[in-house]
Amino acid sequence: MARLHLFDLDGTLLHGTTAPVEISRQLGLEAETVALDRAIGAGLIGPPEYAAQVYDLWAGLTEAHVTAAFEAAPWLTRIREVWAEIRSAGEYCAVVSLSPSFFVERLLEWGAHATHGSRFPAVPFTEPVDPSGALSAAAKVTIADRLCAEFGVARADCVAYGDSSSDKELFAVVPVSVAVNADGHLAGLATHSYTGRDLWDAYELVAGIS
């Protein structure tokens, strides 16, 4: 049976940062977004409040800002190589992230079969954000089930890669998981742990290749 590899974005594919922080850096609003990241990480605000507040920060956001943020972000190395290997093995890879859909969707060009992020209007914003479109940790499980149905696999065929509390619920329902540069929220939950800057090395823990 083919497997479905489910990748988190912030802190996982991106090393030590989040997509909203990288986007805000282009607007000179990094500190404000780091504060929001800390607030949501501590449970002081939820995904809907976070989405509404970063939307307000990004009133002047343009597509050029998003492109610059994506290109300058500290990605792990060999992401595209890992996804090409997954595809060549007849398996599937998807990114499921709480970050904005307009950023996450760019990873389709790198070889992901599917991407899911919090729903935001197109950039530049001419419509309000719907806070109910913000993804949560629980939503990651729902989306994973939807992707399983789409690709004809089961939860038992899934591998999850993540780093923080937003990945706990997904890690709890799949048989194989890789904690990538993870914080203490995933201690004892992951099948494997990886610390470093190369996704291939993390993938090797579950791929059985060299």
Mean pLDDT of the region 69-93: 98
Using a pLDDT cut of 90, give the percent of the chain over it: 92
Do the Cβ atoms of 92 and 4 come closer than 8 Å?
A: yes
CA distance 91 to 4: 6
The secondary element (H helix, E strand) that includes residue 6 is strand 4-7
pLDDT band of residue 93 (cuts 50, 70, 90) is very high
pLDDT at 200 over 70: yes
User: In terms of C-beta distances under 8 Å and separation of at least 24 residues, what long-range contacts does 182-189 make, across chains too?
Assistant: 182/11, 183/11, 186/162
Beta strand pairing call for 158-162 and 176-180: parallel
Q: What is the mean pLDDT of residues 63-67?
A: 98
Interval 28-57 mean pLDDT: 95
Read off the pLDDT of each residue in 81-105 and give the average, rounded to a whole number: 97
Residue 188 has pLDDT above 90, yes or no: no
The per-residue pLDDT for 36 is 96
Question: How many CB atoms lie under 10 A from the CB of residue 76?
Answer: 21
pLDDT band with cut points at 50, 70 and 90 for residue 176: very high
pLDDT given for residue 208 in this prediction:
66
The mean pLDDT value for 49-62 works out to 97
Say yes or no to pLDDT of 210 above 90: no
How confident is the model over 128-145, as pLDDT tens digits? 999 999 999 999 999 999
Q: Give the pLDDT band (50/70/90) at residue 204.
A: very high
Examine the pLDDT at 127 and tell me if it is beyond 90: yes
Q: Does residue 209 carry a pLDDT above 50? A: no
Residue 185's pLDDT is: 78
State the pLDDT confidence band at 186, using cuts at 50, 70 and 90.
Answer: confident
Region 67-83: mean pLDDT is 98
